[in-house]
Amino acid sequence: MLVAMTVAGVVAGVAGLSIAVVAHNRVNQVVEECADLLRRQLQSAGGGPDRQALRDLAIVHYDALKEMSGHRSFSLAMINANGDGVVLSSINGRTETRTYAKAVRDGHPIESLSPEENQVLRAARLGKGPVISMADPLADFGNGARSPSPTP
C-alpha cells in the first residue's frame, strides 16, 4: 500500500512538473512575441510618441439640474500632447438629455466653458484624471474663451 501511494505521488509530481515546464515555455514564447510586436510598432512609428493621440483624459460627474440628483450629468475632456481635443458634456434631466461638444486648441477652449467643463479641462491638462471632483483644487489656465482667428 505504501509503495503504491509513493509511486502515485511520484507520478503526480512528475506530471505537475511537466505541466509547469510547458506552461513556462509558452509564457516565454508569448512574451517574446509581444516584445517583437512592440519593437515593430516602434520602428514603424519612427520611435517617437504620437503627439496626435489622446493623452490626457478627465471626467467629472455633477448635478446640473435641480430636479435631478445623483451626479447624472458629466463633462469629459480628451486632449492630445499638443493641447488639442474636445470637452464633451452631457446634461441629464428626467425627460431629456442635452449633449455638447466644445473644441480645444493649444490647451484653450474655442468657446466659453461652464465651470464644470473648465474644471475638467484643467484636470486633463494637469494629468489629474481620469476621475475628478468639482472640489479638487486645480491651477487656472484662464477662464475666457480664446477668440477665433479673424478670417481674411
3-state SS of 16-36 is HHHHHHHHHHHHHHHHHHHHH
Residues 26, 74 share a domain: no
Q: What is the pTM of this model?
A: 0.58
Q: What is the number of structural domains in the chain?
A: 2
Residues 91, 126 share a domain: yes
**Rounded-to-integer distance, Cα 100 and Cα 97, Å:** 10
Neighbour tally for 48: CB within 10 Å: 7
In a domain, 118, yes or no: yes
Position 35 scores a pLDDT of 85
20-36 per-position pLDDT tens digit: 888 998 898 888 888 88
Neighbour tally for 145: CB within 10 Å: 13
- On the question of pLDDT at 146 being above 50, the answer is no
Phi, psi of 78, deg, nearest 5: -130, 115
Domain that holds residue 43: 1-48
Position 68 scores a pLDDT of 63
In a domain, 73, yes or no: yes
Residues 42, 58 share a domain: no
